[in-house]
Amino acid sequence: MTGEKKVFLGLGLWCLTVGLTMTVFGRDPFFPLGYEIKKELPLNSTGDKEPQIPSLTTEKREVTLAEWDAARKTIQVTGFASTGNRQIVLINGKSYRGGEKMTITYQGVVFAWRIALPEERKLNLVPLEAVRL
């Protein structure tokens, strides 16, 4: 037998074995035990296969100044450092340079500030945005 015929015969036997195994045992032998193939989504009332997404009737509230202040109080500045003309501030265990963006998640709202270091050992936080999760 030539090499091509042996490969073809081997693939044929493999396909026959897998096909018989799936019909006898009802599962693919190469999947882990207990693995189930995901079934198709049931048809919804309109006959589409896509799931219906419920409409969002709740309006998103704007973030208030009181929430900005409460989030600002969670910020802990633990140190300043400067090397040459670069200033670095350590806030909540992370280091930031002037101009970088800092985000904090507080009570389901992501607050973002830009770090401003106008003078040595002075920190100004410029509020950028707040997004409710």
pLDDT digits (tens, 9 = 90+) for 17-43: 555 555 555 666 677 777 777 766 555
| 5 pLDDT more than 80 | no
**Do 124 and 86 fall into the same domain?**
yes
Query: Which candidate, 70, 73, 76, 75, places its Cα nearest to that of 109?
Result: 70
69 and 115 part of one domain: yes
What is the number of domains present in the chain? 2
Residue 123: both structure tokens together: 């920190």
Q: 80 and 115: one domain?
A: yes
pLDDT in tens, 101-124: 999 999 999 999 999 988 888 889
Q: Specify if 36 maps to a domain.
A: yes
Give domain status of residue 58, yes or no: no
> Do 36 and 77 have their domain in common?
no
Question: 35 and 75 share a domain?
Answer: no
- Asked whether residue 25 is assigned to any structural domain, the reply reads yes
Its domain, for residue 1, covers 1-40
Q: Is residue 105 part of a domain?
A: yes
Give the angle 49-55-61 at the CA atoms, nearest 5°. 145
Does residue 55 sit within a domain? Answer: no
Closest CA to 96 of 83, 111, 110, 80: 80
Indicate whether 13 belongs to any domain: yes
Global pTM value: 0.55
Angle 85-121-80 from CA coordinates, rounded to 5°: 75
- Across 49-77, average pLDDT: 77
Where does the pLDDT of residue 73 fall: very low under 50, low under 70, confident under 90, or very high at 90 and above?
very high
Question: Could you tell me if 35 and 71 lie in one domain?
Answer: no
Q: Is residue 53 part of a domain?
A: no
- Residue 50 within any structural domain of the chain: no
Examine the domain organization and report whether 34 and 73 are in the same domain: no
Confidence (pLDDT) at 100: 93
Quick one: pLDDT band at residue 53, thresholds 50, 70, 90? low
